[in-house]
Each structure stands twice: as structure tokens, then as C-alpha cells.
Amino acid sequence: MTGRGLFRRSVLAFGLAFLYAPLVLVVIYSFTASKLATVWAGFSTRWYGELIADEALLEAAWLSLRLAFISATLALALGTLAGFALARFPRFSGRTLFAGMVFAPLAMPEIVMAISLLLLFVNMGEILGWPSQRGFLTLVIAHTTFTLSYVAVIVAGRLAESDRSIEEAALDLGASPLKTFFVITLPVIAPALAAGWLLAFSLSLDDVVTSQFISAPGATPLPVVVLGSVKLGVSPKINAIGAISVVLVLLATSAAYVVQSRRGRRLRQRSGL
Amino acid sequence: MSGGKNALPSAILPYAWLLVFFLAPLLVSLAISLTHAVDGSPPYSNPFDWPSLNLENYRSILSDDLYADALVNSIRVAATTALLCLLIGYPMAYAMALEPPGRRQILLMAIILPFFTSSLIRTYAMINLLKETGLINQALSALGLVDPAHPPSILYSDWAVQIGMVYNYLPFMILPLYANLARLDWTLAEAARDLGAPPWRAFATIVLPLSWPGIVSGVLLVFIPACGEYVVPTLLGGQNYPMIGTQLSTEFFQNRDWPLASAVAILLLAILVAPLLLLQWIARRSEAAA
């Protein structure tokens, strides 16, 4: 290896170590027998046992999972439509505003959207009588709103690089636009849909800021509960929650990677490349 | 135009959704920011009572040192974060782009993975490292570098916030930089080398200018959300660390001054409009190029 190759490898190694070391330590210290989060006192699974026994925490986790599943699915539907409109129609009236509304949430500080949505819900409650109070439904709306942008960008990106001639052929042969969309377009962008759904799911599952503003007593997602207890101090129990979430993300991302690369290989073989 | 004849069937649902749940909320905040706080539910005066609306909240934010500090500090922390992320992220993205394609995919996954883990958990992981009895001080005192009886405390300081921010936002910088560098025409740099340019010169005159769009989007993608960051300063900055995000939530939840909190949110957005538009302009240009 040349000197410069060595330098490049060390840059990557240090960078990845910076990204991963803190997470690895959370996983390791979730197995400590000590009551202190950063003291190693022998191997133990007691903190996982305490997690399972904590009903309030389990309830919050179950709520978070349902919330993430429903809002990711809604975001997938709306985001796919938005991505399709943006990728396939370079000009329509109101497109600039539409593109702005799709892209802005990706970069905007989340807290601004969170407080604005809360004020909207409160005002709607005052004027329309709905929602009379905040709860699961308002959380679903909020999470769908900030995750659909991610789906739209992924789908639009995939559509931009896909071959349009097959769609055009189907339309020329008399298939309706709707049928063309379901029979040709959807299968082509399927990996992007899977990736978009997974991203939306994990963003919703992890969300603290929006949830903190929109949640109500009785509908508190897990990260809001965790934030509350982290403010009071660290504990091996939170290490255990962190470890579980890191491992779940690891499994989900690797699964997505394997599916994508297998599919890529199959497509290349089929097209004789 | 081929394909479906018009955009309406695909655009109408997401368009309506975003108008109601993205644009309308911002307008509602704008309206509430012109009212004043009252005791009651909801805790603000009637936004439809036109004569009572005024800019008092904005005036008091801009004349209050607390907010001026928080505003300046947020911009300082966000700018430093963007700069540090660029300094760490550029060499990483550069090194990734020069790896063979198979390994690139794996590295890309390795960068995306922390992005998928919760920022709350990542920030929490930093507390484990930085607190007085944390792992960094344990390691340093084991090496005899610090006195274990009086360990220096990094947590609840500017440093802690800065480290936590860089840690959280680094993937946001690497991904656009990598996307740009991976597509770059490296034969140009090779040509420069073949014609006798030293490596630094080939980099400075060819690679760096070509990667400019990636640098600008990376910096903006870190800077804009970092200005309103809430979790990191709350957990690593200690009580009342002066950033706009933490100030906003204090005003909202503790002081229950919703009009003032909305004014802070609108002001933050106003400051970020220019960088947001710049980001969208770059995105549109690269979309057109592709």
C-alpha cells in the first residue's frame, strides 16, 4: 500500500471509530452488573430484566411502534405520490410551492415545525372542535408530515434514474396511466419504496422533538419518556434501551442492504451485464 | 409531455396534506406571534381581533439580552459545527470515493447506520463518555493524566455541546460530499497529475472546485437544522444553555408564553430562509444537471 493509501485508510478508520465507539460502549455497558451506567462490575443481564418488568416503558414502546408503523405507511403513500409528481412533471402550476413544501422539512429545524403543528391543532380544536385534544391521531399526522418528505426525495431520485421508455411503451400500447403506474412504475421503484418506508419508520420511532410538543398524557412515545429520564441522569437501564435500538437498526439496515444488493445482482444478470 | 397527461392525480393528495399540515401551521404561528399571552386556555389573545395584533413580541425578543445571546450563540455553535463537520467529513468522503465500488457500498452503509440510530441515544452515549465519572476521565486517570480525585468536567459546557453536535451531524455532511465526490470526473485530476501538477495542486485546482456544490449543500444541511437543535444542548449543555431551541421550549412549557415562543420560531425561520432557498437552488441545479 502506498503512503497515501495508508493515509486514506487511517482517515476512514478514525472517522468510523468516532462514529461507532460511543455506541459500542453503550452496548457493552448495558451488560454491567453495576448500578452506575459507566462502571463495569461484571457481566449481567439484570437491566434487560428490569426493562421487561417496567410496564410504563413497555407501553410507551408499543405506542411508538404502532405510531411508526402507521405514519411510515401513510408517509409512503403520500411521499410516493409527491415524488412521482416531482420526477415526472417538470412543469405544472404551483410546482414551485409544492417542491418547496416537500423539500423544506428536510432541512428546517424540527422544533419550528413542531410548535407550529401544535398551534394548528390547538386552533383547529378551538374553531372546528376537532381535534378536541391531542393524542395518538395528532401524533400520526405530525409524524407523517415530517417523514413524507424523505420518502418523496428517495422516490423522486429513483424515478429520475429509471428508464422511462417502458412506461411510455405501456401507455402507447393502450394501458391506462393508472395501470401503467401499478404494473410498470411501482415494481421499478420497489427498492426505493422499501428504503423510504424503513427510513420513515426509523425517523418516527426515534423522534423526540415533534413528539414532545404533540404528545399528551396517555399518548407518550418512548423517546419522550427516555428524554425525561435522561434529564434526571444516566442509568444502565437506558444503556439497555440504547443497545436494543442500536441492534435493531443494525439488523434492519443490513437486511435492507442485502435485499438491495441481491436485487441489483439479479437485475444485472437478467439484463446480461 | 408524455406519460400521464397532467400532474393532478398524483400531486393533489400530498399537495393538500402539505398545505394543511405544513404551510397552514406556519401561518398560524405567524398569527399567534402577533397576539399576547393571557391566562386561560388557549393561553393567547384572539388572533382574529385585528386591532390587538402587534409586533410587541418581536420587539421584546430583539431587545432582550437573553434572546440576543441565545440567537448569537445558536448561530455560533451551528457554524462551528458545520466547519468541524466539514474538516472531518471531507477527508472521509474523499477517502470513500477513492475506494473500489464494492467496498464503497459497505462504507456508505456504515455512515448511514448512525444516522438511523436515534439522536437521543447518540447524545446519551456522549454523556456516558463526557461526564465527570465518565469513560474518558476513567481512561485518562488510568493513564495518570488526570487526578482521579478532581476529574475535570467536560459535560455541561460549550465543549460538550460542540462535541455532541459534531457527533450528531457528521453523517449529514458526509453524505452530500460523498454523493458529489463519487460522481466527480477523476480523470481530470489524473490528467493534471500526468501533466506534472503536484498532488496538492491537482486537488486545489481540479477536485476542490468541482466538489463545491457538495461542500455548500453539506454545510447548509448541517448549519440550518443545527441552529434550532434542541436535544443536544438540553442534555449536554446543562440548565438553561443559551440556544434558540432550548429557549423556545422553556418559553413554551415553563413560562407558557405561546405568543413569544411562536415569535422566536418565526424569527428563527426568517433567519434561515436565505440558506434554505440557497439549498433548494443547489438541489434544483444538480437535478437539472442529472
Q: Which residues of B touch A246 (CB under 8 A)?
A: 117, 121
Tell whether the model's pLDDT for residue A260 goes beyond 80.
Answer: no
pLDDT band at A270; cut points 50, 70, 90: low
Q: Which residue of A has its CA nearest to B268?
A: A112
Judged against a pLDDT cut of 90, whether residue A119 lies above it is answered with yes
- Is the CB of residue B210 less than 8 Å from the CB of residue B243? no
- Provide the pLDDT confidence category of residue B1 given band limits of 50, 70 and 90: very low
The stretches of A2-133 forming alpha helices (DSSP H) are: 3-29, 46-53, 55-88, 95-107, 110-128
Give the per-residue pLDDT at A139.
96
**What is the average pLDDT score of chain B?**
88
pLDDT-based confidence at residue A107 (cuts at 50, 70, 90): confident
* Chain centroid, CA A190 distance in Å: 17
Q: Is the pLDDT of residue A232 over 70?
A: yes
Look at residue A37 in the predicted model and tell me its pLDDT. 74
User: Closest Cα of chain A to B223: distance in Å?
Assistant: 9
pTM, rounded to two decimals: 0.88
Closest CB to B28 among A120, A167, A254: A120
Mean of pLDDT values over A218-241: 87
Q: What is the mean pLDDT of residues A154-169?
A: 86
- Per CATH, the number for B62-289 is 1.10.3720.10
Q: State percent of chain B over pLDDT 70.
A: 97
- Which domains does chain A possess? 58-233 (1.10.3720.10)
Nearest residue of A to residue B236 by CA position? A231
For residues B127-157, b (16+ Cβ closer than 10 Å) or e, as one string?
bbbbbebbbbbbeeeeeeebeeeebeebbbb
Give how far B132 is from chain A: nearest CA, Å: 11
| Nearest residue of A to residue B269, measured between CA atoms | A112
Which residues of B fall within a CB distance of 8 Å from A212? 249
Query: Phi and psi (nearest 5°) for B156?
Result: 60, 45
Q: pLDDT tens-digit profile of A72-104?
A: 999 999 999 999 999 988 888 889 899 999 988
Interchain contact B149–A (C-beta under 8 A): no
Tell me: pLDDT of A199 over 80: yes
Mean pLDDT of chain A: 87
pLDDT at B40: 79
Domain range summary for chain B, segments of one domain joined by +: 62-289
Partner-chain residue, chosen from A22, A109, A167, that has the shortest CB–CB distance to B122? A22
pLDDT at B3 (0 to 100): 41
Query: CB distance A231–B2 less than 8 Å?
Result: no
Determine whether the interchain pair A85/B11 forms a contact, defined as Cβ–Cβ distance below 8 Å. yes
Instruction: Please check whether residue B161 is in contact with residue B232, taking contact to mean a CB–CB distance below 8 angstroms.
Output: yes
The owner of cell 411502534 is: A65
Which of B92, B224, B229 faces A107 most closely, judged by CB atoms?
B224
Q: Is B7 helix (H, G, I), strand (E, B) or coil?
A: coil
CA gap B145, B244 in Å, rounded: 36
| R_g of chain A, CA atoms, integer Å | 23
Distance, in angstroms, between A78 CA and closest chain B CA?
5
On the question of pLDDT at A1 being above 80, the answer is no
